[in-house]
């Protein structure tokens, strides 16, 4: 059988706990399907800083680049919060995405009937909500130059923090193309571009490029919203959205907000994709959850669903992806809940027990 080389990056906080569950799922897949995996773990984030004093060691990036797919859990934590920018875990994650040219981040947020009560929003608001956020991932104010934290005038001690919000036409066109392709394959074929074109030149360019691209996709219905309104509409009436395309910063914020359509950040997976030169990075939307790390409380399902996205978007095995998605559905049907999605009458479990339940459900 075919052997897929996967790079596993457990990272920090709850990372190792949820990555263990991802391994369990992969082990099960290799037993059940005609697939074999070679799994190699590598250091990233705080774990890499502690061991090698850099958040993305060269060997990690190289191993990821030559792999058939990258599974990343999460990075960061208070231990590394006061280090200089280039020595922060977050810089490692950004360098990984940049190094693998993963410019399009697909973040699906689809309401799950079994979790309707886990959402703080009213059932009638979130029921059947199904949004796919396509977040640009290698540009924007995250990467713009110049940047820095410096003294403005010598002597008087006044400092400034400086970042540059910038998009080039090439950057907007390539992520817009991904978003239109995604929208085209969905049933409603609607794409909403979110920006701040009433204030920002980078957004003005964004809107012009997306609008231009729309002429190539006459079957997709394009609309535009300002990000402040979009943030409000997303919780007022989420069903109006189908696919959303937006920049790096707005997409970061809106996707965390969209997690409330499902009920927890611990449920949202993502796929970070480039043009195929390098493998994609499959990573939960959430962070390292330092508040619950090491307590076997983390919800591993965002990680598990990210493994499903690896099969769907990278390894071309939607059959495996469907099996994983169905298993998640079944453990929710059976009432298993980690604390973040707990509601009355359900069975509270930890990360490990949830992983075991997913594995069992995969053999059903």
Q: Kindly state the tokens that stand for 186.
A: 């969905």
CB neighbour class for 187 (10 Å; exposed up to 12, middle 13-18, buried from 19): exposed
299 binds, among Mn ion, ligand NAD, ligand IPM, none (CB under 5 to 8 A by kind): ligand NAD
Active-site residue (options: 27, 128, 228, 291): 228
Q: Sign of dihedral through CA atoms 197, 203, 205, 210?
A: negative
Among 57, 76, 108, 279, binds ligand NAD (CB under 6 A): 76
Active-site residue (options: 68, 117, 130, 256): 256
**DSSP 8-class letter at 270:** -
42 binds, among ligand IPM, ligand NAD, Mn ion, none (CB under 5 to 8 A by kind): none
Tell me if residue 94 falls in helix, strand or coil. helix
Q: Are 291 and 344 in contact (CB under 8 A)?
A: no
Residue 76, interface with ligand IPM (CB under 6 A)?
Answer: yes
Of residues 336 through 355, those in contact with ligand NAD by CB under 6 A are: 340
Residue 287, interface with ligand NAD (CB under 6 A)?
Answer: yes
Q: How far is the CB of 251 from Mn ion (least distance, A)?
A: 9
The H helix count followed by the E strand count for the chain is 12, 14
CB neighbour class for 53 (10 Å; exposed up to 12, middle 13-18, buried from 19): exposed
340 binds, among Mn ion, ligand IPM, ligand NAD, none (CB under 5 to 8 A by kind): ligand NAD
Residue 257, interface with ligand IPM (CB under 6 A)?
Answer: no
CB of 126 or CB of 265, closer to ligand NAD: 265
Residue 252, interface with Mn ion (CB under 5 A)?
Answer: yes
**Residue positions counted in the chain:** 364
The residue assigned the tokens 């992969």 is 26
CB of 10 or CB of 279, closer to ligand NAD: 10
Question: CA-CA distance, 129 to 248, in Å (whole number)?
Answer: 23
**DSSP 8-class letter at 52:** H
Angle at CA of residue 134, ends 202 and 234, nearest 5° = 90
Q: Which of the stretches 26-34, 103-111, 285-293, 319-327 binds ligand NAD when contact is defined by CB under 6 A?
A: 285-293
CB of 104 or CB of 292, closer to ligand NAD: 292
Residue 306, interface with ligand NAD (CB under 6 A)?
Answer: no
CB neighbour class for 34 (10 Å; exposed up to 12, middle 13-18, buried from 19): exposed
The site for ligand IPM, by CB under 6 A, has a size of: 7
Q: Kindly state the tokens that stand for 96.
A: 């990984």
**DSSP state letters, 128-173:** T-EEEEEEE-S-GGGT-SS-EEEESSTTT--EEEE------HHHHH
Q: How far is the CB of 287 from ligand IPM (least distance, A)?
A: 6
Q: Kindly state the greatest CA–CA separation across the chain.
A: 70
- 7 beta partners: 40, 70
Q: Which of the stretches 8-16, 90-98, 109-117, 332-340 binds ligand IPM when contact is defined by CB under 6 A?
A: 90-98
Among 135, 286, 312, 317, binds ligand NAD (CB under 6 A): 286
Q: Which of the stretches 68-76, 223-231, 328-336, 353-361 binds ligand NAD when contact is defined by CB under 6 A?
A: 68-76
Which residues contact Mn ion by CB under 5 A? 252
Which residues contact ligand NAD by CB under 6 A? 14, 74-77, 90, 93, 265-266, 283, 286-292, 298-299, 302, 340
Which residues contact ligand IPM by CB under 6 A? 76, 90, 93-94, 252, 285, 287
Point out the residues that are catalytic.
Answer: 142, 196, 228, 252, 256
């Amino acid at each position: 059988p075919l052997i897929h080389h996967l790079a596993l990056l457990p990272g920090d906080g709850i990372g190792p706990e949820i990555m263990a569950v991802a391994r369990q799922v992969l082990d099960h897949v290799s037993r059940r399907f005609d697939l074999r995996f070679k799994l190699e773990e590598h250091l990233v984030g705080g774990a890499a800083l502690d061991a090698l004093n850099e958040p993305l060691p060269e060997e990690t990036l190289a191993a990821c680049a030559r792999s058939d797919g990258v599974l990343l859990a999460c990075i960061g934590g208070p231990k590394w919060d006061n280090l200089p920018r280039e020595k922060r875990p977050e810089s490692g994650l950004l360098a990984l995405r940049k190094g693998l040219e993963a410019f399009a981040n697909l973040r699906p947020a689809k309401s799950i009937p079994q979790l309707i009560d886990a959402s703080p929003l009213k059932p009638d608001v979130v029921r059947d909500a199904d949004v796919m956020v396509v977040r640009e991932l290698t540009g924007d104010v995250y990467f713009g130059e110049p940047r820095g934290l410096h003294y403005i005038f010598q002597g008087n001690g006044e400092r400034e923090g400086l970042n540059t919000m910038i998009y080039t036409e090439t950057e907007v066109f390539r992520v817009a193309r991904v978003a239109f392709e995604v929208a085209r394959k969905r049933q409603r074929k609607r794409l909403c571009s979110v920006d701040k074109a009433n204030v920002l030149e980078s957004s003005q360019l964004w809107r012009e490029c997306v609008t231009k691209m729309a002429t190539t996709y006459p079957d997709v219905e394009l609309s535009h919203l300002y990000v402040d309104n979009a943030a409000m509409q997303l919780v007022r009436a989420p069903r109006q959205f189908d696919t959303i395309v937006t920049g790096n910063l707005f997409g970061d914020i809106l996707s965390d907000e969209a997690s409330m359509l499902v009920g927890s950040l611990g449920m949202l997976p993502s796929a970070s994709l480039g043009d195929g030169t390098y493998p994609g990075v499959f990573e939960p939307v959430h962070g390292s959850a330092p508040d619950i790390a090491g307590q076997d409380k983390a919800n591993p399902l965002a990680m598990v669903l990210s493994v499903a996205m690896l099969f769907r978007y990278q390894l071309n095995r939607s059959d495996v992806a469907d099996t994983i998605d169905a298993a998640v559905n079944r453990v929710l049907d059976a009432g298993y809940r980690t604390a973040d999605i707990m509601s009355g009458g359900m069975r509270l479990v930890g990360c490990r027990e949830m992983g075991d339940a997913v594995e069992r459900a995969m053999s059903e």
